[in-house]
Every structure is written in C-alpha cells, then in structure tokens.
Amino acid sequence: MTDPNPLRTGLRIARTPEPCTVVIFGATGDLTARKLLPALYNLAKEGMVPGNIALVGVGRRPWSDDDFRAEMRRSADQHSRSLPVNEEVWQNFAGGLFWVGGEFTDRAAYAALAERLAEIDASRGTQGNRLYYLATPPSVFDDVIGHLQAVGLNPQEHGWTRIIIEKPFGHDLDSARELNAQVSRAFDESQIYRIDHYLGKETVQNLLVMRFANTIFEPIWNRRYVDHVQITVAESLGIGSRAGFYEEAGALRDMVTNHMMQLLTLTAMEPPVRFDAESVRGEKVKVLHAIHPLRGAEVDANTLRAQYGHGTINGEDVPGYLQEKGVNPESRTPTFVGLRFEIENWRWAGVPFYLRTGKRLAKRVTEIAIQFKMPPLLLFPEIRDDIQPNVLALRIQPNEGITLRFSAKQPGQRMTIHPVNMDFRYGASFGVAAPEAYERLLLDAMLGDPTLFTRRDEVEAQWSLMTPILERWAERNGDALPAYEAGTWGPDEADTFIQREQRAWRKL
C-alpha cells in the first residue's frame, strides 16, 4: 500500500501533477469556500495542474452539479487572489466540478461516490488518481475513513490514493495516537498528508533557504551568538462564531501545538542531509525530542495564560471573551498563552525560546525574531546603553519579508548610534503576488511530496510536550486567570514573564 509515485528530490523543478480527482468531504464549509476552491482555481489558471483535473464535493446538502458549480463560482469571485475570474479558465475548470450528497455516516453515500469516481475516471481520464481532503470536524474522521475503506476507495492498485487531514490532530497525546491509529487502519503512512497551512507560507519556506543557502547566517545560528528567540502569533480578531470550538481548544491547542511548534522546529533544526521529505521531517522531530519537557512546578514557572477583556480594536468597541456569544461566563479557557522552552542540544543549550500567541491583540502579525548577543562595546563606554542588540526578524504575515536590525552612526560631529533596519519584502522585491499557502500544499500533495506536511511521530512528539502543560493547568483551574484589555499586547504578567530574565518582548 505504498505510494508508487513519491517525489524524492524535494527541490522540485516546475512540473505538473498527473491528472487526478480531488474529493473534498465537507465541501460546503468555510475552508472550502475561502481557501481550497480558490487555491485549486488559481493553480488551474496558472497552468500548474492538468486541464482535466476534477473536483468532487461531498456534503449533506441536496445539490446538483450545477448548484455546486454556482456556489464555487461565488467562492472564486470573493476569495481568489487573482481577480477578476478568467472566464475561459473558469469554464474549463467548472466542467470538472461534481457533487455527491449524503450523510458522512451513510455507507450508501460512499457507494454513490465510488460510482461517480469511476465515471469521472472514464470521462476525464483521471486514471484512478484520488486526493481526499477531510475538511470536516474531527468527530467524523473515523466515519469517513472507515467507509472509504469499506467500499474499496483507499487502495493503490489503480493509480495513487492520498488523504489530507486538516487540523486539529487530536486534543491531547492519547487522542492524537487514536486518530493516527484510525487513519492508519485504512491508509499507509506514505498516503497520509497532515496539513498545517503555515508550512505553505513563503517566508516559512524561505527560512530554510535563508539558513542553508547563505554563508553569512548559518555560522552564527547557535548558542554562541544567539541570546534568545521570540516567536509571536498575534491576532486582532476575537473568536467570532467559533465559541464551541474555542471553548474546547483554547490558545494552546489552537495555535501552539501545531503552527508555533512548526515554526520553532524549522528555526532550530539541524541542516538535513538532503532537502527531501524524510530528511527534513526527521530533523524537525529531533528538535521536538530535544525540548526540555515541562511538568508540575516547571509549568507554573515557564507558562502564562490569560483572557481578553473589553477593549477597542481599530476604533471599535469589542466585548471581552466572557461576553462573547456561546462562551460560558465562568470559562477558564485561555485566549493568550506565553511559554518558555529550552532545547537541550549542542546548538541551542542555554538559549530560551519564548512563544506568545493571543486573540484580540493590537494587530495581526506572525513573526520569528532571532535576537543576537550584545558585543562587548568597550569602544563605546559612554553610549553603550543606547545600543540595541542585532535582531533578524522573519515576518510570516502580513507583508511577508525579512528585517535585519543593526547599529549605525548618525551623521554629525558627535558619536551617536541608532538602530537601523534593512528590509526585504516579497512583493517589492519580486513584483509578483506570492501564492496562497493552500496552493503550494495542494500542489505538493498532488505531486506526492510530503516535505511540508506533518509526520505521525511529529504530531505525537508535539502533543507529548503540550499534554503535561494542559494537565497542570487543569489541576490549577481554580487559579485566577489574568485579563488583558482587547487591543493591547496582552496582560502585564506577560511583560513580567520575560523581564525577569532581563529581556523584553519585541514591539511589533
């Protein structure tokens, strides 16, 4: 049951995947409308996928193919990064859109899907190649996977079969292991693509290029020169209509376990022997195993949680978390999390990694900041307090780019030193719009390249670090939860958290 067409080089030259059918379970949801359909259309528009690619939506609504095509056109008109929609491209693309209605628990729906896929193979020449996408709540994963296996839609005898699983990958270590066991009963690991859209972002991918394709960075990317690392994922939005999900997840499960740990591993990993899936993912897993696990009182000393209160965002009054619709007024769910990790290996021994994420913060921004150690400054004894450390900051979103902060002399007769920035911005430097993350990841899945997807042991290693933190928080659920005003950078306790080591959060 192994994948007969894996991409082994990792450094992919421009190539088009084989014709295939993409099957989206939960195709009426927001993910399909905002991300998946626009991504597939943009790939078709740019000639990155074959003209006979097919897309089958599966959901509960009693739609016809034409209903589905009309709905997907609205999605393209609203959310494509390339507007207006090209009519010629759309007409060809829409000819490959099909709908299969039914309940995810009903085997008859999967039998109808099997018949439809056979018809598409015959009419569009998709050669039995299938890419399943589970854009559904995790509660129905087992039903979908089990029924695909029951009707024989999981094998590899004719063409290739792959399955993309959308996060969350469980809610703790035990549930992650169970989910992995569920999907592994029907699919080989080589067929399973656990998606984290952060890995499709240009700056995240560029992190590896910057580190390993430039002589000037790699020699100083270690404990001898780096003072500490800050990883920030800030959101100005609240929970919106996701109260049910967020009440169960909270900031740690929603952002840290997946997105932020991926950013950490890519920042800290050793150079892989090759740029291919197993080598890159193997180095990331080594980082996770090297992180000192926090347990008991260590959790209290190295983590922080808080909730947003009433405040102002962009001049608009917004309610506090406990006033949001659907939230328990006595909820203990954190909307802000700060953590301090140490990586116990030769490269990073003694270098703290600070992570912070929160909702209703001052602005939306995701950044990795490498702060270097201060030089001795013996030449500048009178102005040493004015000199700031060098920082290399990678902006993941918005305005993807890289900034290097260093010191320079201000023009004039006096020795006055100020920090200055060297900025690189994707849009300004290359003059083209960067592809959306889902475009890259869907294309890689069709090509059979799992480099930017999460491996089974990686998921479980992430949860092995997070679960003891969640358990300790549950034990101390009676502790007062700090509050912070919406529109700020978090609670005062977050500043204290990092200042106790004579450091400060970057101003973003």
Q: Are residues 91 and 230 in the same domain?
A: no
Q: Are residues 291 and 309 in the same domain?
A: yes
Residue 6 confidence (pLDDT): 41
Residue 378 has pLDDT above 90, yes or no: no
Residue 136 domain flag: yes
Rounded to whole angstroms, the Cα distance separating 113 from 133 reads 14
Mean pLDDT, rounded, of the chain: 90
Residue-wise pLDDT for 78-112, tens only, equals: 999 888 999 999 999 999 999 999 999 999 999 99
Query: 178 is written with which tokens?
Result: 């169970």
Residue 431 confidence (pLDDT): 66
Residue 429 domain flag: no
Residue-wise pLDDT for 237-284, tens only, equals: 998 878 888 888 899 999 999 999 999 999 999 999 988 889 999 999
* pLDDT tier, 447 (very low <50, low <70, confident <90, very high otherwise): very high
Rounded to whole angstroms, the Cα distance separating 193 from 489 reads 35
Residue 382 confidence (pLDDT): 63
Residue 487 confidence (pLDDT): 95
Residue 377 confidence (pLDDT): 66
Query: 158 is written with which tokens?
Result: 């004719």
Dihedrals phi, psi of 57, to nearest 5 degrees: -90, 140
Q: What is the mean pLDDT of residues 412-428?
A: 79
CB neighbours of 204 closer than 8 A, spacing ≥ 6? Answer: 198, 262, 263, 266, 396
Q: What is the mean pLDDT of residues 64-76?
A: 96
Q: What is the mean pLDDT of residues 182-201?
A: 91
Question: Helices 437-447 and 37-45 sit at what angle, rounded to 10 degrees?
Answer: 70
Residue 433 domain flag: no
Residue 157 confidence (pLDDT): 73
Strand pairing of 483-485 and 303-309?
A: parallel
Rounded to whole angstroms, the Cα distance separating 132 from 35 reads 16
Reduce the DSSP state of residue 254 to 3 states and report it: helix
Q: Are residues 209 and 142 in the same domain?
A: no
Of the three residues 178, 195, 212, the one that is the final residue of a domain is 195
* pLDDT tier, 375 (very low <50, low <70, confident <90, very high otherwise): confident
Q: What is the CATH number of the domain that holds 53?
A: 3.40.50.720
Beta bridge partners of 353: 229, 341
Residue 414 confidence (pLDDT): 76
Question: Helices 202-212 and 261-268 sit at what angle, rounded to 10 degrees?
Answer: 20
Q: Are residues 134 and 218 in the same domain?
A: no
* pLDDT tier, 10 (very low <50, low <70, confident <90, very high otherwise): very low
Strand pairing of 336-342 and 352-358?
A: antiparallel
Number of H helices, E strands in the chain: 16, 17
Residue 385 has pLDDT above 70, yes or no: no
Q: What is the mean pLDDT of residues 431-444?
A: 85
Q: Are residues 188 and 111 in the same domain?
A: yes
Residue 272 domain flag: yes
Q: Are residues 188 and 207 in the same domain?
A: no
Do 163 and 146 touch, CB atoms closer than 8 A?
no
Residue 115 has pLDDT above 70, yes or no: yes
Q: What amino acid positions are annotated as catalytic residues?
A: 259
**Going along 63-175, which residue ranges are E strands?**
97-101, 130-134, 161-166
Residue 3 has pLDDT above 60, yes or no: no
Residue-wise pLDDT for 198-250, tens only, equals: 888 887 888 888 889 899 999 999 999 999 999 999 999 998 878 888 888 89
* pLDDT tier, 407 (very low <50, low <70, confident <90, very high otherwise): confident
Residue 2 confidence (pLDDT): 43
* C-alpha distances in Å from residue 84, one per residue of 73, 78, 79, 89, 96: 11, 9, 10, 11, 20
Strand pairing of 417-425 and 365-372?
A: unpaired
Q: Dihedral sign for Cα 389, 390, 392, 395, please.
A: positive
**Going along 334-461, which residue ranges are E strands?**
336-342, 352-358, 365-372, 391-397, 401-409, 417-425
Q: Are residues 220 and 316 in the same domain?
A: yes
Query: Is the entire prediction scored with pTM above 0.75?
Result: yes
Residue 9 confidence (pLDDT): 43
Dihedrals phi, psi of 459, to nearest 5 degrees: -60, -45
Domain range enclosing 336: 200-377+455-499
Do 391 and 369 touch, CB atoms closer than 8 A?
yes
Residue 106 domain flag: yes
Rounded to whole angstroms, the Cα distance separating 324 from 322 reads 6
- 406-413, long-range: CB < 8 A, 24+ apart: none
Q: What is the mean pLDDT of residues 443-471?
A: 95
Q: What is the mean pLDDT of residues 484-506?
A: 95
Query: 459 is written with which tokens?
Result: 């998921």
Residue 297 domain flag: yes
* pLDDT tier, 501 (very low <50, low <70, confident <90, very high otherwise): very high
DSSP string over 261-310:
HHHHHHHHPPPPSSSSHHHHHHHHHHHHHHBPPP-THHHHHHEEEEEEES
Write down how long the chain is: 508
Residue 73 confidence (pLDDT): 96
Q: Are residues 144 and 109 in the same domain?
A: yes
Query: 223 is written with which tokens?
Result: 């404990």
Percent above pLDDT 90 for the chain: 71
Residue 383 confidence (pLDDT): 61
Residue 239 confidence (pLDDT): 86
Query: 109 is written with which tokens?
Result: 């729906």
Residue 205 confidence (pLDDT): 81
22-55: burial string, b at 16+ Cβ within 10 Å, e else: bbbbbbbbebbbebbbbbbbbbbbeebbbebbbb
Residue 406 confidence (pLDDT): 84
Residue 391 confidence (pLDDT): 94
Structural domain count of the chain: 2
Q: Are residues 206 and 244 in the same domain?
A: yes
Of the three residues 161, 195, 229, the one that is the final residue of a domain is 195
Q: What is the mean pLDDT of residues 13-25?
A: 86
Q: Are residues 164 and 304 in the same domain?
A: no
Do 501 and 302 touch, CB atoms closer than 8 A?
no
* C-alpha distances in Å from residue 322, one per residue of 304, 306, 318, 335: 19, 12, 12, 11
In a 10 Å sphere around its CB, with 0-12 CB exposed, 13-18 middle and 19+ buried, how is residue 382 labelled?
exposed
Q: Are residues 242 and 118 in the same domain?
A: no
Q: What is the mean pLDDT of residues 374-384?
A: 67
Residue 371 confidence (pLDDT): 96
Residue 110 domain flag: yes
Looking at residue 489, what DSSP letter applies?
Answer: S
Residue 203 confidence (pLDDT): 78
More confidently predicted of 406 and 450: 450
**Amino acid, res. 195:** I
Can you tell me which residue has the tokens 């919106």?
240
Residue 448 domain flag: no
Residue-wise pLDDT for 321-369, tens only, equals: 999 999 999 999 999 999 999 999 999 999 999 999 999 999 999 999 9
* C-alpha distances in Å from residue 502, one per residue of 389, 409, 427, 499: 13, 26, 36, 5
Query: 431 is written with which tokens?
Result: 């003059």
Of the three residues 136, 171, 195, the one that is the final residue of a domain is 195
More confidently predicted of 14 and 416: 416
HEC sequence for 44-57: HHCCCCCCCCEEEE
